Structure 1
Amino acid sequence: MLRAINTFFFVGLLRPAPGTWGSAAALALGWAIERYLGFIPLVVATLAVTALGFYTVAAELKDRPGDDPSEIVIDEVAGMWLALLFPAAGFWMRDMSMVWPGPVAAFLLFRLFDIWKPWLVGRADRRHDPAGVMLDDLWAGIFAGLCTLVLAGLYHAVLM
């Protein structure tokens, strides 16, 4: 069961770039949760997958210190859903569901920060422990979400 959860029901076994596959699956499911169930269920799902990820990643890596296997993508799911919360909150405040390009921008920016690993993302990644596996993607999600809001603000201020 740990393997199924940590690979996000085996999406993490897809090649190449399992992190991108995991993020794309998270985008699709997160967008569907927000669209059909609403913003609050997305918040609950994000908190649940984050807590579950900290537990299951620690359990799977307890005998492998410093390991960060590429097939573990539950961290990408948590980070991607965190990034989606930013545009979702903006649309929720306007009493509407997310429409593109908000979720697409969150996805692209999340992948950028997850791969580039600037500042706090890189610091978390360098912990080389199970918490670091989760934390680097959560920081990437926060940065992606904030950048998505900045880009949306620029778009609406300058082009509208």
Structure 2
Amino acid sequence: MIGTVCGVGYLRPAPGTWGSAVALPLGWALHMIGGFPLLALAAVTYFIAAWWATTQMTAGGADHDPSEIVADEVVGQWIALAPLSYAAWDRGIDILAMWPGWIAAFALFRLFDIWKPWLVGWADRRGDALGVMLDDVIAGVFAAIGVLILAGLAHGVFMR
């Protein structure tokens, strides 16, 4: 249940995209209940639980990263949403007013998770449960940085 996010990982096609998509309303709910601190705590807690679940689900198998494991996508997507959650929490902004950032967070996270550039690919090549988790964490960090850069461009921060 943890690794497949209550069975979402069995959806086809593109289970990773389904996992990322389900992370959006879950991330919104966490933010609405407890703001950025709860989203951050949930990401850390779910990372630990998902790492354990991934270890259990891959033990003794030839496939170190079965497609039905999508808990890593949830964690990575929450990291990609972190700049939006923090800004909304810190500034008292309705997080849904930042809808372009949500689209950017989703698109950038999926791009980095599929493309696997640099450190994302390094983590994926580890071939173990921690690598399964870390490639999405790093993709989430890259996406979060992308969200910050795009927000800076959109709001003219880099033009001053």
TM-score between both structures, scaled by the size of structure 2:
0.92
CA distance in 2, matches of 1:46, 1:153: 25
Structure 2 runs not aligned, ≥5 long: none
Counterpart of 1:119? 118
2:128 is the counterpart of 1:147: no
CA distance in 1, matches of 2:139, 2:90: 24
CA distance in 2, matches of 1:66, 1:9: 21
SS of match in other structure, 2:95: coil
Amino acid at match of 1:144: A
SS of match in other structure, 1:38: helix
CA distance in 2, matches of 1:70, 1:81: 19
Runs of 4+ in 1 over 6 A off after TM superposition: none
Structure 1 runs not aligned, ≥5 long: none
Instruction: Give the % identical residues.
Output: 53
Counterpart of 2:48? 51
The equivalent position to 2:58 in structure 1, one of 57, 61, 74, is: 61
Aligned length: 156
CA distance in 2, matches of 1:142, 1:43: 13
Measure how far apart 1:65 and its partner are: 5.3
Are 1:12 and 1:70, in contact at CA under 8 Å, matched by a contact in 2?
A: yes
Deviations along 1:21-77, whole A, 9 cap, x unmatched? 000001111122213432211111111111111111112212125521001000001
CA distance in 2, matches of 1:55, 1:95: 36
Amino acid at match of 2:116: K
Deviations along 1:93-152, whole A, 9 cap, x unmatched? 212231211222111110000001000000101111111100000000000001001000
Deviates more, 1:103-112 or 1:13-22: 103-112
2:89 is the counterpart of 1:89: no
Measure how far apart 1:12 and its partner are: 0.5
CA distance in 2, matches of 1:149, 1:87: 9
CA distance in 2, matches of 1:97, 1:126: 39
SS of match in other structure, 1:112: helix
CA distance in 1, matches of 2:85, 2:57: 32
TM-score between both structures, scaled by the size of structure 1:
0.92
